[in-house]
A and B are shown apart, each in its own frame.
Chain A
Amino acid sequence: MSCIQTIADYGLRSVGIGERLLPRSDFTMCQQFTLIGSGMIWNLYFGILALLAGFFLATTLAVAKNSDRAIFRKPAEWFIFLFRGSPLFIQFFLAYEAFAMLPRAGFPILGITVATDWITRAWAGALIVLFFNTSAYAAEIFYGALRSVPKGDMEAADAYGMTGWTKFRRVTWPTMLRLGWPSYTNEAIFLFHATTLVFFSGFPAFRQEGDALYYAKYFADKTFNPFIPYPIAAFYFILLTLCVIAVFGVINRRLNRHLPQESRKRFRFRPQIIR
């Protein structure tokens, strides 16, 4: 079987398109590269959606945590502590068990039966957990940035007669993003790394459609040789990390475009690894 054929068969295997049966023996390098790469689709899916949705919740939480009113501040503080203080791994298990306890058949609300089976599946359940998790981490970053918005900037905004929403949207928020962006880049990288945990926690892989690490482990288990699949997975993740750095770098340049070259905040790769 040629390599093109393998790619056609297994390139989209992780989303259920193409050959159903996984290779069982005589694994070629091409098969390993293709299947592990196909698994990356899941990592991208979880990472990108959680990041996009999490960005908004994180901003809200950061503002709430910075609020003077305890009624906003306390819930935000507890949310952030809950998700940052416990391992993501446990959160996945807990969420899965909680979702699995919902009645199988769905429950009726206002005459309509709300289905519950989709939420125990990884694509929805794990995404929810990752969304809350990244929101909590990013909220802490944005909160720190919010605290360090220069006093002078705020006073200048006051002097222009800006108040409330206008002031937040035009001064506070852009400055917060600018200051927090390098750390947020790191958070994004580690969110992508964290997506590898999904299929190793409570969430089962449906019809052997898993992420990159799931297939890497599959090969390692079958061949008893960890020296090929894991480095392949690592290679894909290094590529992904470089892409994230590039995209976030473009945004960073845009956020800093009004500043002189040398006073811009630079991104530094600071792995935080596990969460």
Chain B
Amino acid sequence: MFYGSFGIVLILLAVTAPVALIFGFGGALAARSSAAPLRFLGRGYIAMVRGVPDIIFFLFVPIAMDQGLEYLKSRAVCPDPGPAWTGNEFHVCASAKIPLGTAPQFYHEAYGFALAVVAFSIVYGAFAANVLFGAMQAVPRAQLETAEAYGMTRAQVNRRVLIPQMWAYAIPGLSNLWMILIKATPLLFLLGIEDIVYWARELGATKSSIYAYPHPDWRLYYFLVLLVFYLVMTKLSEIVLARINRRLAFGQATAAGEALRKADA
């Protein structure tokens, strides 16, 4: 289980990264849009998430999502939906619970995990949107004008010129974000997911029921293992991202691209 929980962290990273990127892409395109409402929506999304401590979002989004979904479902399936928030309680009828109270444990865990992924994606999506927005602004204006001179429409310019060129400018910011995302994964514990922090506390504690024999307090060693795990992850990512960066700089009209050209010649 302890080893399996490393898998949970890796799954979270693998799922959140692309989803957050899609959120970010949407946010950045919306912030650049020529339609005012869409633009305000994109800019507002970026500004809102960036101004507030992220942990508040991690605590807030899953509960808010959970209650919102159950509220909507209670409107649909409950025979007599009263007001859900009465006094200090949140009440929906039994058939509106997500997942149902009778569902197997696995569904409860999967649902909690999904909520966590959504919370992570919303927060990191805003950061990714900010990076991508900056990168789109950084693509030289002349490149876009040339594309327009060829008679491309706005969508074509975006698809064929802007987006391919944007990556070289976005990668430093995105790799920074990836590092941050890695380091945010232990916060899963706060959301009640049985992740590595949970198991490290559970298995290391003196009163652990997992082992048949009693053992002294091992939590220190479990957390040392976690520390090393994260350090290794960070180091590996650094190496891989440096490679990608080099690859993308190739043939670009930037200082890094110029340095590569000179090195090859």
Interface residues of A (CB under 8 A from B): 25-27, 81-82, 85-91, 93-94, 97-98, 100-101, 193, 196-197, 200, 213, 216-217, 220, 222-227, 230, 233-234, 237-238, 241, 269, 271-275
| Residues in B whose Cβ lies below 8 Å from that of A196 | 53, 55-56
| Residues in B whose Cβ lies below 8 Å from that of A272 | 176, 180
Neighbour of A271 across the interface among B50, B85, B183, B190, CB < 8 A: B50
What CA separation (Å) do A143 and B234 show in the bound complex?
Answer: 20
CB contact list, B30-88 vs A, under 8 A: 50-56, 59-60, 63-64, 67, 85, 88
Contacts A86-B227, A226-B64 hold; do A25 and B187 have CB atoms under 8 A apart?
Answer: no
Interface status of B96 (Cβ within 8 A of chain A): no
Question: Can you name the residue of chain A whose Cβ is closest to the Cβ of B222?
Answer: A97
Interface status of B107 (Cβ within 8 A of chain A): no
Question: Can you name the residue of chain A whose Cβ is closest to the Cβ of B63?
Answer: A226
Contact A97 B88 (CB under 8 A): no
Contact B230 A87 (CB under 8 A): yes
Contact A101 B220 (CB under 8 A): yes
Contact B180 A97 (CB under 8 A): no
Contact B234 A97 (CB under 8 A): no
Question: Can you name the residue of chain A whose Cβ is closest to the Cβ of B61?
Answer: A226
What CA separation (Å) do A93 and B223 show in the bound complex?
Answer: 7
| Residues in A whose Cβ lies below 8 Å from that of B50 | 269, 271
Contact A237 B63 (CB under 8 A): no
Contact A273 B64 (CB under 8 A): no
What CA separation (Å) do A216 and B60 show in the bound complex?
Answer: 10
Contact B227 A89 (CB under 8 A): no
Neighbour of B90 across the interface among A217, A225, A238, A273, CB < 8 A: A225
Contacts A213-B55, A226-B63, A230-B56 hold; do A87 and B220 have CB atoms under 8 A apart?
Answer: no
Contact A82 B230 (CB under 8 A): no
Question: Can you name the residue of chain B whose Cβ is closest to the Cβ of A237?
Answer: B53
